[in-house]
Chain A
């Protein structure tokens, strides 16, 4: 699999580290316990497009939001996590 880093260009998988679901948002400190349990442990496993976090550790050291089809490895988009649109981070 290859990812096109918005900073570095198209690179092979070994340059990146996978983290997981990019739609999760860290709950507030005083959020209900269940919200924390969900955040830390509960993961969806969609068959199809999945928004996920990758780290370009040997390149620009940017965290990236990658929209990837888990069935075909088609990459719909790769964007910088810092610059990625707000809904992923600031709702709930």
Chain B
């Protein structure tokens, strides 16, 4: 009888705390990239029953699927594992878009706690003020030297770093160092 393969976490430890904040490896979500073929965006939206987000800053959710921009002409759809996202997308938009499984390409590290924004600001070079980057906002940018997709899940206190799996441990280290460095004084604006 063949044995099944066991999944291996992309970072260790999967949960760590420092300076009153926590850094957690979040459960994997099934992630499919959707690259519409030429002229197919409108039919694709119809097939999906939604309008794929136009801006890079915002995500939309429908039927348990979260859609966000992945590149100038691509989107990500994510859903909890085991909900058959790929099959559903293949059924509705196989001919309209390139569908590529990206579930294992990236992992998400979640930074939570008072001062999460201050810690994130140490490594992410974009304006995280809640007026510009509030809950649900997302950005493709850098954390130090590592490309990430940053998502705000709670203003000031919770940010998700989605990163290529191979970079995850290196990013984990960088975030932990930033956490250990504490929250700068006069951290407000």
Contact = CB atoms under 8 A, between A and B. Distances in A.
Nearest to B127: A10
A75 B116 CA distance: 33
Interface stretch (B85-93, B94-102, B139-147, B179-187): B139-147
A60 B125 contact: no
B188 interface: no
Interface string A1-31: 0000001110110110000000000000000
A57 B103 CA distance: 21
Given A58-B147, A60-B56, A7 B69 contact: yes
Interface majority SS (helix, strand, loop, mixed), chain A: loop
Contacts of A80: 72
Contacts, number: 40
A82 B140 contact: no
Contacts of B56: 7-9, 59-60
Interface in B136-181: 139-142, 147
Contacts of B141: 8, 11, 15, 58-59
Contacts of B139: 8-9
Interface in A51-73: 56-62
Nearest to B72: A62
Contacts of A14: 125, 142
B-side interface size class: 10 to 19
Interface string B65-80: 0000101110000000
A60 B142 contact: no
Contacts of B126: 9, 11
A90 to B, nearest CB: 18
Contacts of B147: 57-58
B166 to A, nearest CB: 15
Contact of A7 (B72, B125, B142): B72
B57 interface: yes
B140 A60 contact: yes
12 contacts: A7-B56, A8-B140, A9-B57, A9-B139, A11-B125, A14-B125, A58-B141, A60-B69, A60-B71, A61-B71, A61-B72, A82-B72
**7 tightest Cβ-Cβ pairs between the two chains A and B:** A62-B72, A58-B147, A60-B72, A61-B71, A59-B140, A12-B125, A8-B56
Given A11-B126, A11-B141, A60-B71, 10 more contacts: A7-B72, A9-B56, A11-B125, A12-B125, A14-B142, A58-B140, A60-B69, A62-B71, A62-B72, A80-B72
